[in-house]
Amino acid sequence: MKLFDVYPINPIEIVKGVGSLVYDAQGTEYLDLYGGHAVISIGHTNPRYVKRLEDQLHQIGFYSNSIEIPLQKQLAEKLGKVSGKEDYQLFLCNSGAEANENALKLASFYNGKKKVIAFRKAFHGRTSLAVAATDNPKIVAPVNETDNVIFLPWCDEAALEKAFAENEISSVIIEGIQGVGGIQVATESFLQKIRTLCDQYNAVFIADSVQCGYGRTGKFFSHDFAGVNADIYSMAKGMGNGFPIGGIIISPKIQPSYGMLGTTFGGNHLACAAALAVLEEMAENNLMHNAAEVGAYLMEELKKFEQVKEVRGRGLMIGIELPEELAHVRKELLYKHHIFTGEAKPNVVRLLPALNLSKAHANRFLQAFAQVLESSKETVA
Ligand X SMILES: Cc1ncc(COP(=O)(O)O)c(C=O)c1O
Q: Which residues bind ligand X (CB under 6 A)?
A: 95-97, 100, 123-125, 175, 179-180, 208, 210-211, 236
State which residue, 210 or 357, has the beta carbon closest to ligand X: 210
What is the Cα–Cα distance from 117 to 162, expressed in whole angstroms?
Answer: 11
CB of 107 to ligand X, least distance (A): 16
| Polymer length in residues for the chain | 381
Residues contacting 320, CB < 8 A, separation 6+: 302, 308, 310, 311, 348, 349, 350, 351
DSSP, collapsed to helix, strand or coil, labels residue 11 as: coil
Residues paired with 312 in a beta bridge = 319
What is the C-alpha to C-alpha distance for residues 63 and 153, in angstroms, rounded to an integer? 44
Return d(Cα 134, Cα 210) in angstroms, integer. Answer: 14
- Nearer to ligand X by Cβ, of 172 and 372: the residue is 172
Min dist. Cβ of residue 130 to ligand X (A): 7
The Cβ-side half-sphere exposure at 168, using a 13 Å CA radius, reads: 8
Report in angstroms how near the CB of residue 37 gets to ligand X at its nearest. Answer: 6
Smallest separation (angstroms) from ligand X to the CB of 304: 29
CB of 237 to ligand X, least distance (A): 6
Given a contact cutoff of 8 angstroms between Cβ atoms, the answer to whether 88 and 80 are in contact is yes
Beta carbon nearer to ligand X, 242 or 332: 242
Which secondary-structure segment (H or E) carries 169? strand 169-175
Q: How far is Cα 111 from Cα 309, in angstroms, rounded to an integer?
A: 44
CB of 265 to ligand X, least distance (A): 13
CB 113 within 8 A of CB 148: no
Beta carbon of residue 123, minimum distance to ligand X (angstroms, whole number): 5
Amino acid letter, residue 200: Q
H or E segment and range at residue 193: helix 188-201
Smallest gap from residue 75 Cβ to ligand X (A) = 18
Is residue 118 within 8 Å of residue 258, measured between CB atoms?
A: no
- CA angle 32/37/42 to nearest 5° reads 60
Closest CB to ligand X: residue number: 96
Judged by CB, which is closer to ligand X: 319, or 332?
319
- Smallest distance from the beta carbon of 15 to ligand X, in angstroms? 23
Residue 153's Cα: distance from chain center in Å?
21
Query: For residues 106 and 135, is the Cβ–Cβ distance under 8 A?
Result: no
Closest CA to 177 of 223, 135, 215: 223
Q: Which of left, alpha, beta for 43 (phi over 0: left; psi -120 to 50: alpha)?
A: left
Measured from the CB atom, the residue of 75 and 180 that comes closer to ligand X is 180
